[in-house]
């Protein structure tokens, strides 16, 4: 519709086009109008003022997407993807969010839900109307179907992991002075001997990458060559610039380390607890980069020769004492990493992470419930008990798509949107 907007305080009418969508096929599922007019700030403000005087109000942050979700137009994973599209800072994040928006996870989950619902209906019909001659579902067939559903859930859980790895590449980087024990920690965390460990400083010449399990969350772990941290955070152009051919191996590896640190999502800053800290190391500790940082005191099996309290004071949080020899502190480090990564996902607008983390737990619980159902089925337990486990699995699966949701969850997701989305 072509027309004219008559605005308070503006003498002449403003040309505009109005696109009217009566619903239910609009974005929000309800009636919706879009006004297109000149993109001039003061005129747009006058238009909003005039519309508000006539009874309109400004949308709350995320309200459009919330309405779309509540009217069933999109599921929760897609709502999170909208946020991802808005917040994407690079092409990779945008591509991941768009793929999620297209419903990568929603459809297989919906199929699984339907399947489990059918099983449940079958079981419950048998319970409620035992005298009716209903088609009989043998325990063997029930077990087989539950087994298939449980495998599908496992596949989805794996897909989510891969998504986190490939699309997000959550990168945890080990940094610290040469010889503090980074490579040993890298090996201990990955439970294998990949990095070369040597008592000579500067053994790790470039960087190594492995897949780390941070208390159930998978991420990339990078072991860098020891580097001069102050230079990393203060140099705007980076250290070791110039023709690679003219640089020493050490300088090249320093440059690679600098890049790894800059691209890190989380830094694990390693300090050798068995050696007094050099004044420069204290200075490095105060310098801060962009990424959140965990401080680790290595070689915890040896007598501690640094002032841990002073270290905690400087860092604002107590260091995690680890030993790659005895395994001390490694589990704590994994769970602190998990917390830090989850914190990033919650605040950083990484939509796919957020969905992956939120969904992974539900999928895990659903899968556990199905496995219990399989065991109960095999033990000829009463069907009520099997039905209860299936119901539990359905509830967890429903949480992923938002078919089952709590006010808290909606608040958590939609409060991160900006106004007008």
Task: Name the segment binding ligand GDP (CB under 6 A); options: 176-184, 232-240, 254-262, 413-421.
Answer: 176-184
Binding status of residue 224 toward ligand GDP by CB under 6 A: no
CB of 360 to ligand GDP, least distance (A): 31
CB of 177 to ligand GDP, least distance (A): 7
CB of 321 to ligand GDP, least distance (A): 10
CB of 249 to ligand GDP, least distance (A): 15
- Tell me which residues in 70-89 interact with ligand GDP (CB under 6 A): none
Contacts of residue 57, defined as CB under 8 A and 6 or more positions apart, other chains included, come to none
Whole-angstrom distance, CA of residue 195 vs CA of residue 192: 9
Question: Running DSSP on this structure, what letter comes out for residue 419?
Answer: B
Binding status of residue 179 toward ligand GDP by CB under 6 A: yes
Binding status of residue 209 toward ligand GDP by CB under 6 A: no
Binding status of residue 198 toward ligand GDP by CB under 6 A: yes
In the list 164, 182, 358, 416, the residue contacting ligand GDP (rule: CB under 6 A) is 182
Neighbouring C-beta atoms of residue 29, cutoff 10 Å: 17
Task: Name the segment binding ligand GDP (CB under 6 A); options: 18-26, 48-56, 280-288, 299-307.
Answer: 299-307
Contacts of residue 132, defined as CB under 8 A and 6 or more positions apart, other chains included, come to 125
Task: Name the segment binding ligand GDP (CB under 6 A); options: 21-29, 127-135, 192-200, 372-380.
Answer: 192-200
HEC readout, 50-64: HHHHCCCCCCCECHH
CB of 172 to ligand GDP, least distance (A): 15
Phi-psi region of 207 (alpha: psi -120 to 50; beta: other; left: phi over 0): beta
Q: Which residues pair with 17 in a beta bridge?
A: 2, 36
Is the separation of the CB atoms in 184 and 208 below 8 Å?
A: no
Whole-angstrom distance, CA of residue 321 vs CA of residue 311: 12
Site string for ligand GDP, 242-281 (x = CB under 6 A): ----------------------------------------
Neighbouring C-beta atoms of residue 365, cutoff 10 Å: 17
Rg (CA), the chain: 28
In the list 65, 77, 78, 204, the residue contacting ligand GDP (rule: CB under 6 A) is 204
In the list 183, 255, 340, 401, the residue contacting ligand GDP (rule: CB under 6 A) is 183
Question: Cα 408 to chain center, whole Å?
Answer: 18
CB of 207 to ligand GDP, least distance (A): 11
Binding status of residue 199 toward ligand GDP by CB under 6 A: yes
Burial class (CB in 10 A: 0-12, 13-18, 19+), 102: exposed
Cis status, amide bond into 333, omega within 30 of 0: no
C-beta pairs of 27-36 under 8 Å, 24+ apart in sequence: 27/64, 27/68, 27/73, 28/64, 28/67, 28/68, 28/71, 28/73, 29/67, 29/68, 29/70, 29/71, 29/72, 29/73, 30/67, 30/71, 35/5
CB of 234 to ligand GDP, least distance (A): 22
**Measured from the CB atom, is 28 or 324 closer to ligand GDP?**
324
Site string for ligand GDP, 309-348 (x = CB under 6 A): --------------xxx-----------------------
Binding residues with ligand GDP: total (CB under 6 A): 21
Phi, psi for 194 (deg, rounded to 5): -105, -45
Side-chain half-sphere exposure of 302, counting CA atoms within 13 A: 14
Binding status of residue 180 toward ligand GDP by CB under 6 A: yes
Task: Name the segment binding ligand GDP (CB under 6 A); options: 94-102, 193-201, 259-267, 351-359.
Answer: 193-201
Task: Name the segment binding ligand GDP (CB under 6 A); options: 69-77, 295-303, 369-377, 384-392.
Answer: 295-303
Binding status of residue 228 toward ligand GDP by CB under 6 A: no
List residues binding ligand GDP (CB under 6 A).
176, 178-184, 197-199, 203-204, 226, 298-299, 301-302, 323-325
């Amino acid at each position: 519709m072509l027309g004219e907007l008559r605005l308070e305080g503006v003498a002449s009418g403003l040309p505009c086009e109005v696109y009217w969508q009566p619903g239910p096929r609009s974005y929000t599922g309800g009636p919706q109008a879009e006004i297109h007019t000149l993109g001039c700030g003061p005129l747009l403000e006058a238009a909003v003022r005039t519309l508000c005087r006539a009874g309109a109000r400004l949308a709350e942050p995320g309200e459009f997407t919330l309405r779309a979700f509540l009217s069933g137009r999109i599921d929760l994973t897609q709502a999170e993807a909208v946020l991802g599209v808005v917040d994407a800072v690079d092409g990779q994040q945008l591509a991941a969010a768009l793929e999620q928006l297209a419903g990568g996870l929603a459809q297989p989950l919906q199929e699984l839900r339907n399947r489990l619902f059918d099983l449940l209906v079958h079981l419950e019909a048998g319970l409620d109307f035992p005298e009716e001659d209903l088609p009989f579902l043998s325990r063997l067939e029930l077990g087989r179907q539950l087994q298939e559903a449980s495998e599908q859930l496992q596949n989805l859980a794996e897909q989510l992991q891969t998504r986190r790895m490939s699309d997000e590449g959550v990168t945890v980087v080990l940094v610290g002075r040469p010889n503090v024990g980074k490579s040993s920690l890298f090996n201990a965390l990955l439970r294998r001997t990949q990095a070369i460990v040597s008592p000579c400083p500067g053994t790790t010449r470039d960087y190594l990458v492995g897949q780390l399990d941070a208390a159930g969350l998978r991420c990339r772990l990078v072991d860098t060559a020891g580097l001069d941290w102050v230079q990393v955070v203060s140099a705007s152009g980076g250290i070791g610039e110039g023709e690679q051919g003219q640089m020493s191996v050490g300088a090249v590896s320093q440059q690679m380390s600098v890049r790894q640190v800059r691209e890190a999502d989380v830094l694990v800053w390693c300090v050798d607890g068995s050696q007094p800290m050099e004044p420069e190391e204290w200075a490095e500790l105060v310098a801060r980069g962009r990424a959140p940082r965990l401080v680790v005191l290595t070689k915890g099996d040896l007598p501690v020769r640094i002032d841990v309290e002073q270290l905690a004071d400087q860092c604002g949080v107590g260091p995690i004492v680890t030993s790659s020899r005895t395994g001390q502190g490694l589990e704590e480090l994994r769970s602190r990493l998990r917390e830090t990564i989850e914190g990033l996902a919650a605040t950083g607008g990484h939509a796919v992470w957020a969905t992956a983390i939120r969904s992974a737990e539900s999928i895990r619980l659903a899968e556990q419930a199905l496995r219990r159902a399989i065991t109960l089925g095999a033990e000829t337990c009463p069907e009520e008990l099997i039905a209860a486990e299936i119901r539990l699995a359905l509830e967890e699966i429903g949480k992923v798509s938002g078919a089952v949701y709590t006010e808290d969850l909606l608040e958590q997701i939609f409060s991160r949107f900006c106004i007008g989305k």
